[in-house]
A and B are shown apart, each in its own frame.
Chain A
Amino acid sequence: MFLDKTTVAKIARLARVRIPEADRDRIAGELSNILAFVEQLKEVDTKGVAPMTSVVAVSLKQRDDTVTVIGDRDGILANAPQMEHGFFVVPKVIE
Chain B
Amino acid sequence: MAALLIEGSNGPWEIVIGLEVHAQVISRAKLFSGAATAFGADPNTQVSFVDAAMPGMLPVINRICVEQAVKTGVALDARINLTSVFDRKNYFYPDLPAGYQISQYQQPIVGRGTVTIDLKDGSSRTIGITRLHLEQDAGKSLHDIAPHASHVDLNRAGVALMEIVSEPDLRSPEEAGAYLKKVRSILRYIGTCDGNMEEGSLRCDANVSVRRPGDPLGTRCEIKNVNSIRFVQKAIEYEANRQVDILEGGGAIAQETRLFDSAKGETRTMRSKEEAHDYRYFPDPDLLPLVLDPAWVDQVRGSLPELPDPKKARFIADYGLSPYDAGVLVAEQASADYFEAVAKGRDAKAASNWITVELFGALNRLGLDIDRSPVSAAALGGLLDLMTDGTISGRLAKDVFAAMVESGKDAMTVVEEKGLRQVTDASAIETAVETIMAAEAAKVAEYRSGKDKLFGYFVGQVMRAMGGKANPQALNELLKRKLAG
Contacts and interface: CB of A to CB of B under 8 A. Distances in A.
Interface of A: 13-14, 16, 53-54, 56, 58-69, 71-73, 75-77, 82, 84-95
A14 B150 contact: no
B44 A93 contact: no
Contact of B29 (A54, A66, A72, A77): A66
A18 to B, nearest CB: 14
B61 A62 contact: yes
Given A67-B35, A94-B150, A88 B287 contact: no
Contacts of A75: 49
27 contacts: A53-B283, A53-B288, A53-B289, A56-B288, A60-B287, A60-B288, A60-B289, A64-B63, A67-B28, A67-B29, A68-B34, A69-B33, A69-B34, A69-B48, A71-B36, A71-B45, A71-B46, A71-B47, A75-B49, A76-B44, A76-B47, A85-B145, A87-B142, A90-B94, A90-B151, A91-B148, A91-B149
Interface centre among A64, A68, A71, A82 (most CB of B within 10 A): A71
Given A63-B60, A67-B34, A69-B36, A93 B47 contact: no
Contact of B44 (A61, A69, A87): A87
A73 to B, nearest CB: 5
B149 A86 contact: no
A86 B94 contact: no
The B interface, classified by DSSP as helix, strand, loop or mixed, is: loop
A76 B52 CA distance: 7
Contact of A93 (B61, B90, B94, B270): B94
B64 to A, nearest CB: 4
A58 B44 CA distance: 34
Contacts of B290: 60
Interface in B1-60: 27-29, 33-36, 41-49, 52, 60
B269 to A, nearest CB: 10
B153 interface: yes
Interface string B219-241: 00000000000000000000000
Given A84-B151, A88-B151, A93-B141, A54 B288 contact: yes
A72 B155 CA distance: 11
Given A69-B35, A92-B150, A93-B93, A86 B42 contact: yes
Contacts of A77: 44
Contacts of B424: none
